[in-house]
């Protein structure tokens, strides 16, 4: 495992950034507005997961874009920093949508090496079912996972 990288004020207390580490992230929209009910906004969130500036920093393993938040299972690439990667991604989505859409801050959890990543991905992509938006994961359009 690579050396921990601390980025001062950009990291909340206890947050650390390790190249190669897998993180489960949650971002919430400003005021919990259902911005991603709009197809264009949801597609911006998805397309920017694969934007060059984001793609060179992280490997996306799974994601789901919910109406007022999103979950992202990702792995930091070498020399990448968690806070910088998140800032770049969220900025690109906001620019694409044409508005400030994110609530300040985000939730992150570093997954242990012994955790089952496929189960973590299943939990993330089942969010629309648990929220009562759809009956089956396949009925929801805004998700993906490398295992599917």
Domains and CATH numbers, the chain: 16-145 (3.30.70.1290)
pTM: 0.88
Q: Which residues pair with 60 in a beta bridge?
A: 74
pLDDT for position 11: 43
Q: What is the DSSP letter of 19?
A: T
Q: How far is CA 143 from CA 11, 66, 76, 83, 123, in A?
A: 27, 9, 20, 23, 12
Q: What is the DSSP letter of 22?
A: E
The pLDDT tens digits along the chain (148 residues) read 444 443 434 445 567 789 899 999 999 999 999 999 999 999 999 999 999 999 999 999 999 999 999 999 999 999 899 999 999 999 999 999 999 999 999 999 999 887 889 999 999 999 999 999 999 999 999 999 998 7
| Tokens encoding 93 | 């989505």
């Amino acid at each position: 495992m690579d050396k921990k990288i601390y980025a001062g004020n950009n990291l909340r207390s206890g947050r650390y950034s390790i190249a190669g580490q897998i993180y489960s992230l949650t971002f919430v929209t400003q005021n919990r507005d259902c911005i991603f009910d709009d197809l264009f906004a949801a597609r911006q969130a998805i397309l920017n997961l694969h934007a060059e500036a984001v793609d060179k920093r992280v490997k996306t393993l799974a994601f789901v874009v919910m109406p007022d938040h999103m979950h992202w299972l990702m792995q930091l690439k070498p020399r990448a920093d968690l806070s910088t990667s998140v800032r770049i991604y969220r900025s690109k989505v906001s620019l694409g949508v044409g508005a400030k859409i994110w609530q300040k801050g985000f939730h992150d959890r570093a997954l242990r090496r012994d955790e089952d990543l496929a189960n973590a991905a299943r939990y993330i992509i089942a969010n629309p079912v648990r929220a009562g938006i759809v009956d089956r994961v396949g009925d929801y359009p805004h998700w993906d996972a490398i295992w599917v």
